Amino acid sequence: MAKLDSKIPAGKLEEKWTNHKFNMKLVNPANKRKYDVIVVGTGLAGASAAASLGELGYNVKAFTFHDSARRAHSIAAQGGINAAKNYRNDGDSVYRLFYDTVKGGDFRAREANVYRLAEVSNNIIDQCVGQGVPFAREYGGLLDNRSFGGALVSRTFYAKGQTGQQLLLGAYTAMNRQIKLGKVKLYTRREMLDLVVVDGAAKGIIVRNMLTGEIEKYSAHAVVLATGGYANVYFLSTSAMNCNATAIWRAHKKGAPFANPCYTQIHPTCLPIHGEGQSKLTLMSESLRNDGRIWVSKLKKDMRKPNDIPEEERDYYLERKYPTYGNLSPRDISSRAAKEAIDDGRGAQGQDAVYLDFKDAINRLGKKVIEERYGNLFEIYETITGDNPYESPMKIYPAPHYTMGGLWVDYNLMSTVQGLFVAGEANFSDHGANRLGASALMQGLADGYFIVPYTVGNYLAGDKPVMVKTDHPEFEKAKKNIEEMTAKLLSIKGNRTVDDIHKQLGRIMWNKVGMGRNEKGLKEAIEEIRKLREEFWKNVNVVGQSNDVNQCLERAGRLADYLELGELMALDALNRKESCGGHFREEYQTPEGEALRNDEEYAYVAAWEFAEAGKWNLNKEPLEFESVKLATRSYK
Amino acid sequence: MEHKKINLTLKVWRQQDANAKGKFADYKVSVSPDSSFLEMLDDINNDLEKKGMEPITFESDCREGICGTCGLVINGQPHGPIPRIATCQLHMRNFKEGDTIYVEPFRAKAFPIIKDLMVDRSAMDRIMEAGGFISVNTLSVPDGNSIPIPKEVASEAMDAASCIGCGACVAACKNASAMLFVSAKVSQFALLPQGQPERYIRVDEMVKAMDQYGFGNCSNTYACEAECPKGVSIKNIARMNRDYFMAKIK
Amino acid sequence: MGWVWKSLNSSIGKKFVMAVTGVALMLFLVIHLAGNMSLYGGKDAFNNYVGLLEHIKPFIRVIEVILGLVFAFHIFNGIRLWIQNKQARPLPYSVNGSRKNTTVFSRTAFITGSIVFIFLVIHLQSIWYVFNFSGVEEDLYTLTTDWMRVGWYAALYFVAILLLGFHLNHGFQSAFQTFGWNNSKYFPFIKKFGTFFALVITIGFGSIPVYFFLLGGK
């Protein structure tokens, strides 16, 4: 394959993006309407990219598998969005946001990308305000901020507990405006099933019309994938039911390397599993950790009710192990500590859960203050569990939440497949091995509003790609392959349901490629996934027809991809013989049980090139740190 | 935490496609009270698939009550009997042993049934495309703090903006009117200074679009507000009425 | 003037017409009730009041025509809305949950309005038409009170007024909502005042058949 060229511009960190923008080739305004760009996914990154590209004058074809562009899972982000505005005068700056993000990512992200992210973060806030996003305000009418984990400054902007929703609606309305103006054509209920590559360049996509089952072909001069992450490989995660890896996985199989697949974020504050029928996990906002104290019993198999356990028999393990950050320690560290306590047999009433207790906060501040701050979340908790968190502590448990890995992209957010751009959670670029709170929204919008529109233009002006018609043999071939795969899935008629197999895959992933990983477990996982994949293709039962609404078929196609991706995640985890961020190899830890990085050998991006199912070639992009000094990440 | 299971009879609307005649199918289930309503349907579907039968088609995505994808009419009420939640947040502990539960799709001429419990709500997006935006280009905006907005105004705009676009207001309204949905967006922008330049043209365009798609007329029964999972207020409808009047006489 | 017609034909326009005509009709009800209260003053008091109106007959005729138009608009629009609203949901729900999220008053506005309309036709024929156009030389007091002593008529009158009360309880606050005068500070008061208004109208008119039929008022 082509050598990985990150195309990081030369020059000082602070000047790279400005210089790069200046050096970019521009498309003559009159020629922009001659270029077609496909955008797949209409979450924060996709909708904002579609809107901005449309504004610039390109013909945009936007695709979503939802019924509406307003439903993408970006909508579920609660807490907020970071920006280096320094409105608080608390010493924040672009550099500090950059530094916090690089450190938060455990020094496994590309410096130049992260700096650019921090740089454009301020534009995002202005942009969203201009669109009518109702950010929280202070009495003086100015924008309000709150603090978030992993930072000592207050830089998070928010709109109630619905920041993601409001930002997505902002991007959605910007896109609607372009739809009205005829610059964006939106295709809903279309699931991307393949990427069409001609002579090494992305020329279009194959989608399934989810209403009629028809396999449709669309061509363009460039393709932007903004299709989110792959946490649903675990079956149970905080991702929405329909989040899936199919678009990026099929692109991967067409030549786009997949980077750092093993970096997954396990969020510490989710609701525990209630039983076998559990369909997904619900996140409780991280903000609860501002006032809640996390603890378990000091005794093993302690079945007493939490309120019956006396103070001296409680272990506030985060406060004990990380006195400085305490209950506000970063996500990966908090999750792992919960796992340790549970593995030690000290889970809440013998369950897979730890307590999040507001008793002290209520005593200190009064019930009314707590109600003002978290009333909404307490209600959600009670709706779901039937327990009242004012009276007894919440039970929480870590859950897969975000995937830092994704398709490999260069500084222009372009894959090694020419003309294939990847934005938002779908790419790997900005969060390294761990993402900080309130940074996902920032990255999605930065990519979509401020980066992709420039870099796509640069590609179109520089490479002058030609558009291929959809009757090109490559399109026909791709379409035929998809039709054959569909027919194959429907013809197996085996004994196991799609969800049954997916749950089994989820258990393998959670137990062996989850919060704690080791060589033996990873090797077993690879074997087990391979076997399960084999079983899937022999024994799954996909009911219904191909020419109709068929949710069973949709799920089966996605699972087929997870069964390959899961193996790659295990392979990548096995390859990375160090612990960093969300990737914790039990063999590599400090005597105190902290992650032990190996900068000598593993300060690189692992970009996997697909050879065939179960076989990948590893390419390494070395990470060079010019501005930041590599250091052990300490929150003690 | 596993509690004793409860036994229920479900009567679920099954309809092959938009033109087919639908009818209720009966399902006997035994379900944990900790399970959610949709998890119960997942379970039924898993059983159906095991038998090689077509599962019940219904939509859901985030299962946290924010994406607005899910929406079932349960015993005559959109999103079920508990106020201020979406269907996905409804848990089975709210039902009793032996209950019979009717599950129907949202019914409205503007929301044609696609299959079983899945309906086409794209008319709502068409209304949004007609004018539910503020016309600003990327980067053509002033600093976020350049226009101070009083806290109460921002928070009122936020309340209007919290609409999740699920369509429960349409489903609940005896006239299948979309006034609450449309007015929520009109209000959000009418309240904020950024929305002023297009305030009247926006309401005009959006109402025009709303009237095109076969929604009924508002008769002020306020069922929409009662069933809205986010509690969007009918004050927004009043504001839209006012703005529409102003748009017309200006 | 095309824009006026077009605007009034939009969904909000039609509601606006309902509200404006509704308010006009409510004003009429107040005046009608005030006049009717003189029934309790006996035959002379009432007939004097009627005589007063006879003095300004041409003016009253104009008002009657306007009132007729207002009624027609209110009813025509109401029927049009009702038909469109039925069409907006071709297949109704099998389980009707509206009792759980609406009041009986707002749910039944069309039905109560229809029954009041039927009553109105009978009422106009039996009293207004007979008095004005039939050539019968009876004074209005006698004509009215005689009818009130007829069992079925008194009962119909009473039921219709009760339903009118239902209709008004919805209509009063509804008009404010349609005009856009809804604000959390005063809307609760408007709702209460609407109920008070509906009660006054119901008790005022409703007392008449009770007084003359049940209590044997002279």
CATH 3.40.50.920 applies to domain A476-602: no
- 3-state SS of chain B: helix, strand, coil percent to 5? 40, 15, 45
pLDDT > 90: percent of chain A: 90
Q: What is the pLDDT of residues A244-271, one digit of tens each?
A: 999 999 999 999 999 999 999 999 999 9
Domain boundaries, position B53: 6-114
Best C4, C7, C9, C11 residue to mutate vs chain B (most B CBs within 10 Å): C11
Residue ending a domain, among B71, B90, B114, is: B114
Question: Is position C135 within any domain?
Answer: yes
Contacts of B148 in chain A (CB under 8 A): 137, 140-142
Phi/psi region, residue B138 (left: phi>0; alpha: psi -120 to 50; beta: rest), is: beta
Beta-carbon separation of B221 and C106 below 8 A:
yes
Beta-carbon separation of C182 and B248 below 8 A:
no
Question: Is position C142 within any domain?
Answer: yes
Chains that contact B by 3+ CB pairs under 8 Å? Answer: A, C
Residue B246: Cβ within 10 Å count? 14
Q: What is the pLDDT of residues B97-149, one digit of tens each?
A: 999 999 999 999 999 999 999 999 999 999 999 999 999 999 999 999 999 99
pLDDT of B63 above 70: yes
Question: Is position C95 within any domain?
Answer: no
User: Residues of A50-79 as b/e, b for ≥16 C-beta within 10 angstroms?
Assistant: bbbbbbbbbbbbbbbbbbbbbbbbbbbbbb
Q: Can you give the C-alpha Rg of chain A in angstroms?
A: 24
User: Two tokens at B208?
Assistant: 């025009």
Beta-carbon separation of C81 and B107 below 8 A:
no
Asked if the C-beta of B59 comes within 8 angstroms of chain A's C-beta atoms, the answer is yes
- Give the confidence band of A636 by pLDDT, cuts at 50, 70, 90: confident
How many beta-carbon pairs under 8 angstroms link A with B? 228
Name which of A264, A323, A346, A363 is nearest A570 in CA terms.
Answer: A264
What is the DSSP secondary-structure string of C79-118?
HHHHHHHHHT-SS--SS--HHHHS-HHHHTHHHHHHHHHH
Tokens 């926006």 sit on residue: B202
Question: Is position C76 within any domain?
Answer: yes
Beta-carbon separation of C81 and B217 below 8 A:
yes
Contacts of A75 in chain B (CB under 8 A): 62, 66-67
Average confidence (pLDDT) over A96-121:
96
How does the average pLDDT of chain A come out, rounded? Answer: 95
pLDDT for the residue numbered A285: 84
Best B128, B156, B166, B208 residue to mutate vs chain A (most A CBs within 10 Å): B128
User: Under a CB-based contact definition with an 8 Å cutoff, are residues B75 and C97 in contact?
Assistant: yes
**Distance, CA of B52 to CA of A587 (rounded, Å):** 46
pLDDT for the residue numbered B1: 46
What is the DSSP secondary-structure string of A573-606?
HHH--S-BTTB-BTTSB-TTS-B---HHHH-EEE
How many Å lie between the alpha carbon of B15 and the closest alpha carbon of chain C? Answer: 13
- Give the confidence band of A207 by pLDDT, cuts at 50, 70, 90: very high
Name which of B77, B12, B81, B73 is nearest B48 in CA terms.
Answer: B12
pLDDT of B2 above 80: no
Average confidence (pLDDT) over C158-174:
97
pLDDT for the residue numbered A324: 84
Name which of A582, A447, A430, A449 is nearest A98 in CA terms.
Answer: A430
CATH 3.50.50.60 in chain A is located at 13-25+38-78+99-137+163-265+402-463
Q: What is the pLDDT of residues C126-145, one digit of tens each?
A: 999 999 998 887 899 999 99
Average confidence (pLDDT) over A598-612:
97
Average confidence (pLDDT) over C142-167:
96
Contacts of C3 in chain B (CB under 8 A): 248
- Give the confidence band of A38 by pLDDT, cuts at 50, 70, 90: very high
Question: Which residue of chain B is at minimal alpha-carbon distance from C93?
Answer: B76
Longest dimension (CA), chain C: 58
Contacts of B245 in chain C (CB under 8 A): 12, 16, 179-180
CATH number for the domain spanning C202: value is: 1.20.1300.10
Question: Is position B1 within any domain?
Answer: no
Residue B62 and residue B169 in one domain = no
Question: Which residue of chain A is at minimal alpha-carbon distance from B165?
Answer: A70
Q: Can you give the C-alpha Rg of chain C in angstroms?
A: 19
Question: Which residue of chain A is at minimal alpha-carbon distance from B68?
Answer: A71
**Distance, CA of A243 to CA of A228 (rounded, Å):** 7
Q: Do chains A and C touch (3 or more CB pairs under 8 A)?
A: no
The backbone torsions φ and ψ at residue C216, rounded to the nearest 5 degrees and listed phi first, read 65, 35
Average confidence (pLDDT) over A387-412:
97
pLDDT for the residue numbered A276: 87
pLDDT of A2 above 60: no
Chain B residues 188-207 within an 8 A CB cutoff of chain A: 188-189, 192, 194-195
User: Two tokens at A321?
Assistant: 């192990």
Average confidence (pLDDT) over C144-173:
96
Question: Which residue of chain A is at minimal alpha-carbon distance from B15?
Answer: A549
CATH number for the domain spanning B39: value is: 3.10.20.30
Beta-carbon separation of B220 and C106 below 8 A:
yes
Q: What is the enclosing helix (H) or strand (E) of A550?
A: none
Contacts of A87 in chain B (CB under 8 A): 145
CATH number for the domain spanning B139: value is: 1.10.1060.10
Beta-carbon separation of C89 and B108 below 8 A:
yes
Beta-carbon separation of B207 and C14 below 8 A:
no
Contacts of B62 in chain A (CB under 8 A): 71, 73, 75-76, 240-241
Looking at domain A267-399, its CATH architecture is Alpha-Beta Complex (3.90)
- Collapsing DSSP to helix, strand or coil, A256 comes out as coil
Name which of A424, A153, A394 is nearest A283 in CA terms.
Answer: A394
Strand arrangement of the beta sheet that strand B6-14 belongs to:
B23-31, B6-14, B100-104, B73-74, B77-78
Residue B42 and residue B82 in one domain = yes
**Distance, CA of B116 to CA of A552 (rounded, Å):** 14
pLDDT of A594 above 90: no
pLDDT of A14 above 90: yes
Give the CB-side neighbour count of residue A148, counting CA atoms within 13 A. 24
Distances (CA, A) of A97 to A83, A88, A112, A116, A118: 8, 14, 13, 11, 6
Burial of A615 (0-12, 13-18, 19+ CB in 10 A): exposed
Asked if the C-beta of B138 comes within 8 angstroms of chain A's C-beta atoms, the answer is yes
Q: What is the enclosing helix (H) or strand (E) of C32?
A: helix C11-36
pLDDT of B175 above 70: yes
User: Under a CB-based contact definition with an 8 Å cutoff, are residues A204 and A220 in contact?
Assistant: yes
pLDDT of B50 above 50: yes
Name which of B215, C199, C8, B58 is nearest A279 in CA terms.
Answer: B58
How many Å lie between the alpha carbon of B140 and the closest alpha carbon of chain C? Answer: 34
Chain B residues 205-234 within an 8 A CB cutoff of chain A: none
Of A142, A166, A176, the CB nearest to B161: A166
Q: What is the pLDDT of residues A319-378, one digit of tens each?
A: 999 988 888 888 888 999 999 999 999 999 999 999 999 999 999 999 998 888 788 889
Residue B148 and residue B94 in one domain = no
**Distance, CA of A422 to CA of A416 (rounded, Å):** 11
How many domains does the structure of chain C reveal? 1
Question: Is position C1 within any domain?
Answer: no
Burial of B181 (0-12, 13-18, 19+ CB in 10 A): buried
Residue ending a domain, among B82, B114, B146, is: B114
pLDDT for the residue numbered A287: 80
How many domains does the structure of chain B reveal? 2
Beta-carbon separation of B107 and C11 below 8 A:
no
How many Å lie between the alpha carbon of B80 and the closest alpha carbon of chain A? Answer: 13
A331 is catalytic: yes
Q: What is the ipTM of this complex?
A: 0.98
Best C6, C84, C95, C185 residue to mutate vs chain B (most B CBs within 10 Å): C95
User: Under a CB-based contact definition with an 8 Å cutoff, are residues B171 and B108 in contact?
Assistant: yes
User: Under a CB-based contact definition with an 8 Å cutoff, are residues B155 and A466 in contact?
Assistant: no
Q: Which CATH class is domain A13-25+38-78+99-137+163-265+402-463?
A: alpha beta
Asked if the C-beta of B19 comes within 8 angstroms of chain A's C-beta atoms, the answer is no
Residue C193: Cβ within 10 Å count? 14
CATH 3.90.700.10 in chain A is located at 267-399
Question: Is position C62 within any domain?
Answer: yes
Q: What is the enclosing helix (H) or strand (E) of A406?
A: strand A406-407
pLDDT for the residue numbered A1: 52
Beta-carbon separation of B75 and C95 below 8 A:
yes
pLDDT for the residue numbered A538: 98
Domain boundaries, position C198: 13-88+103-214
Query: Which of A250, A293, A331, A576 is the catalytic position?
Result: A331
Beta-carbon separation of B174 and C102 below 8 A:
yes
Residue ending a domain, among B114, B144, B163, is: B114
User: Two tokens at A37?
Assistant: 């760009």
Q: Return the higher-pLDDT residue of A380 and B41.
A: B41
